Chain A
Amino acid sequence: MSLTTRLTLDAVRPGDVLPELRYDVTATTVVIGALATRDTRPMHHDHDFAVNRNGTRDIFLNTPNQAAWFERYLTDWSGPTGRLGRMKFRMKGSVFPGDTMVLSGTVEQVGTDDVGSGWVSVLVSLTVDGDLKTDCTARIALPVDDNDNPWKRHGDQWKP
């Protein structure tokens, strides 16, 4: 994201495809993600626990860190004036060290609400080797024009 990125609603259409993000996940990715989210559960740092207690292949990315990845992906696209309103995601499989995760996104809906806030719904997929690991539906507010700023909306002017 450039410091000047400032995506406005009129520049977005349903069907638009967001730039792909590829990232090679390592044990460090998983552990620093758990640390950053203050998650000390052992399946996110202890290989033996993950394999022999949880029955998974290895330690794996935790839920709140995946949320952080989705946020980063979306705001890389929108720029800092994009404001997340809602995010729903479903984990279908785990992301392990050694995986190359790929985040891709498609705009599903574009519109304004009854207080004039501009909203975009984006379907984001996190895949590894083409297998869907997590899907995420996000609703993100974008400025409707150069004078608008979704972050200035509060109370009943903010309808996420």
Chain B
Amino acid sequence: MTTIPPAVEKLIGQVQYEETGEFPVERGYVWTSCASVENGNPLFWDDAVADAITGGPIAPPTMLSVWFRPHHWAPGRTQQALPLQVHFDLKELFGLPEAIMSDNTIVFYEPVRPGDLLRTRQVLRSVSEPKTTKLGTGRFWVIEVEYLNQRDELVGIESYTGFGYKRGEA
């Protein structure tokens, strides 16, 4: 018998939080990202190479999630906006104060380019029964995020497996 509450069960498969990014894709952040991992790929540093290979500058594909993370603060905002809100909703619904991400799958489609404004939507795919790991007792869940550009082209699909837990119950 499932221990998943009906309030959570009805969220499975439902599209939630359709959002547009708070800022267009920009090269400053591309360079910050490349610098953080010392990525010298000339696609991101040399416009002639980018023109020849990708028809102009693009962002590193793995930066997908960067473009939909909300600003830490914005005028008029009374609560901190959180990325991957479904993840935080589940923590709240299950009363699990801690969480980590364990698995991540990203599928890349159209390249993301400076100036693009991405849209995202989140779908809860599954929630496990209670599990105990070395971190504590909690539940695993899988959340999918779909990314589209301003031309409605799919640019990527990201799937996260999160584990929300309470410490000290292992």
Beyond A1-B40, A38-B66, A80-B42, is A90–B103 a contact (Cβ under 8 Å)? yes
Chain A residue, CB-CB nearest to B49: A80
Does B131 belong to the interface (CB within 8 Å)? no
- In the bound complex, what is the Cα–Cα distance between A64 and B63 (angstroms)? 7
- Tell whether B38 is near chain A: CB-to-CB under 8 Å: yes
Q: Is the interface of A mostly helix, strand, loop or mixed?
A: mixed
Contact call A154/B110, Cβ cutoff below 8 A: yes
For the A-B complex, the count of residue pairs with Cβ-Cβ distances under 8 Å equals: 123
CB distance from B12 to the nearest CB of A (A): 22
Question: Which among A33, A71, A149 has the greatest number of chain B C-beta atoms within 10 A?
Answer: A71
Query: Is B128 part of the contact surface with A, judged by Cβ < 8 Å?
Result: no
Are the C-beta atoms of A3 and B42 separated by less than 8 Å? Answer: yes
| A65 to B11 CA separation, bound complex (whole angstroms) | 29
Which residues 65-87 in A have Cβ within 8 Å of B in the complex? 65, 67-72, 75-76, 80-81, 83-87
Contacts of B62 in A (CB 8 A): 64, 67-68, 70-71, 84, 87
Q: Decide if B79 is an interface residue (CB 8 Å cutoff).
A: no
* B20 adjacent to chain A (CB < 8 Å): no
Q: Is the CB of A39 within 8 A of B39?
A: no
Residues of B within 8 A of A87 (CB): 62, 104-106, 108
Chain A interface size band reads 35 or more
The contact string, 1 if C-beta is below 8 Å from chain A, for chain B 57-91, is: 00011110110010010000000000100000000
In angstroms, Cα B110 to Cα A83, docked, is: 11
Please report whether the interface of chain B is mostly helix, strand, loop or mixed according to DSSP: mixed
Does any Cβ of B come within 8 Å of A130's Cβ? no
- The chain A residue sitting closest to B159, CB to CB, is A88
Chain A residues, Cβ within 8 Å of B49: 3, 80
Contact A65 B53 (CB under 8 A): no
A81–B61 alpha-carbon span in the complex (Å): 13
Q: Which of A39-77 contact B (CB under 8 A)?
A: 39-40, 53-55, 63-65, 67-72, 75-76
18 A-B residue contacts at CB 8 Å? A36-B29, A36-B66, A37-B36, A38-B69, A63-B104, A64-B66, A68-B62, A68-B63, A71-B37, A71-B62, A76-B40, A81-B53, A83-B108, A84-B108, A86-B105, A86-B107, A90-B102, A91-B102
Interface residues of A (CB under 8 A from B): 1, 3, 23, 29, 32-33, 35-40, 53-55, 63-65, 67-72, 75-76, 80-81, 83-91, 149, 151, 154, 158, 160
Q: A38-B29, A84-B108, A151-B55 are in contact. List 11 more A-B contacts (CB 8 A).
A: A3-B46, A37-B33, A37-B69, A53-B98, A54-B98, A63-B101, A71-B37, A83-B108, A88-B106, A91-B103, A158-B109
